[in-house]
Amino acid sequence: MTRHTRSGDAERTDVDLALFGALGDLSQRKLFPALYQLDREGLLHKDTRLLGLARQEISLEEFRGKVEASLNKYVKAKELDEQAMTRFLDRLSFITVDFKVAEGYGAIREWCQTANHERPLVVYLAVGANIYGDICRHLQASGSLDEDSRVVVEKPIGYDLESSNVINDAIGEVFPESRVYRIDHYLGKETVQNLIALRFANPLFGTQWNQNHISHVEITVAEKVGIEGRWGYFDEAGQLRDMVQNHLLQLVCLIAMDPPANLDADAIRDEKVKVLKALKPFTDDMLGRDVVRGQYTAGTSDGVSVPGYLDEEGANISSHTETFVAMKTGVSNWRWAGVPFYLRTGKRMPEKLSQIVIHFRQQPHYIFDPDQRALAANKLIIRLQPEEGISLEVLTKDSGLDKGMRLRRGPLALDFNSAFPKARIPDAYERLLLEVMKGQQYLFVRRDEVEHAWRWCDNLISAWKERNELPRRYPAGSWGPVASIAMITQDGRSWYEDY
């Protein structure tokens, strides 16, 4: 399809967005609410149209009704505006199409051609990665695309490096890398953006961000829920593929990367790739000492009994899939030599929590009470969820005439909700969708990032298979297997759990 385009206009936001999987959970729970918020804030261009695509046969009125119901469910009541809702719903169109059958794509081309203004087409694939290639090829063959069309794909892409390459090759046959947007929603979080500002705009931290001043780093991504009916997917993936390969490794990259030359997309992503290349591989002797796999058993969550992983509906009772992973790794370069990175993530944890803790080294000469020596180190706590914020744990003198020079620990805190009470913290998908419309890629994952992350994880998975080691059990509602506590304790440290 030939349309007049403006390839050099990176800030252009008047696009048409075609959403494959428009009736799915991700679209209804996250994407449509995010698009509504952009519209309500005046950030969705007045000419932008939204096309929902799904296999189900429903009318446009039914589709708009489903979206309206989702907005009423997932958007806070105080943020629902009747005028904004009407304007947003009027943008919606719907086409029933079998994603694997080429014949149905002519309707998409016709929809694109009905625009009064020429706009780039953004294709959002909120579907399984196994059909990304089919959709891209059919869109191209139907004439629905032009040189400004973009595609947004969800991670994880593939099951391992080999399958990831097959999928990325299929996408690459139609879309050049400069027009592929691989989403990791963690990269759209306000606090993750503040991590870049914190590191590179503040000399206080920039000069201290190395092995001379940081003793260790820990990252926790804890989920309170179980598998939420995703047995078929999750049992094939496991927690390493589902969480470590994308979310946790992206956070490691942002913490460990060197300063980019500028804020251009490739400058940032070049530095992230260097970190992934420098990640320490796991040797056989490290597996038993520095990696813990777990699988939750029956327990309690918020005082309610919950089933174990093997007791979930549809479960394969002989499954050895891990629902928890803890590990000690590192980055082999000058900045981070000798600094361990402790990572842990699991399901059925006591809290929903995503948190980074930077532990700074103690002063070499200590002059205060010997029994308080363990306190004498600063910590930078970066909270991604449930409430985003950043705090620096510092030591001061305890107040009172009878305290002497006793120390007390307290935070210098930036809580976004308290610091900006009138400002709404946007959902990660709002930021990511807006950046796609602008044609900006710095919050998205480049193909070589995906490949290096898979290569590192594949080596670990291969070593697990060779050892044929079963995951350790932990009760639902706990912080994982006891071995994960022993793993960090053997280094004279402990997980930070002052929530």
Residue 117 designated active-site: no
Gap between the Cα atoms of 127 and 235, Å rounded: 18
Residue burial 436-456, b: 16+ Cβ < 10 Å; e: rest = bbebbbebbbbbebbbbbbbb
Contact 102, 141 (CB under 8 A): yes
Q: C-alpha distances in angstroms, 403 versus 365, 393, 398, 410, 415?
A: 22, 20, 6, 16, 30
Contact 144, 109 (CB under 8 A): yes
Gap between the Cα atoms of 235 and 315, Å rounded: 9
Catalytic residue among 185, 216, 247, 359: 247
Q: What does the block give as tokens for 31?
A: 């994407």
- Within 8 A by CB and 6+ apart from 162, the residues are none
CA terminus-to-terminus distance, the chain: 55
- Within 8 A by CB and 6+ apart from 356, the residues are 195, 217, 218, 219, 251, 255, 381, 382, 384
Tell whether the torsion through CA atoms of 140, 146, 147 and 152 is positive or negative: negative
Contact 371, 381 (CB under 8 A): no
Contact 160, 126 (CB under 8 A): no
Catalytic (active-site) positions: 247
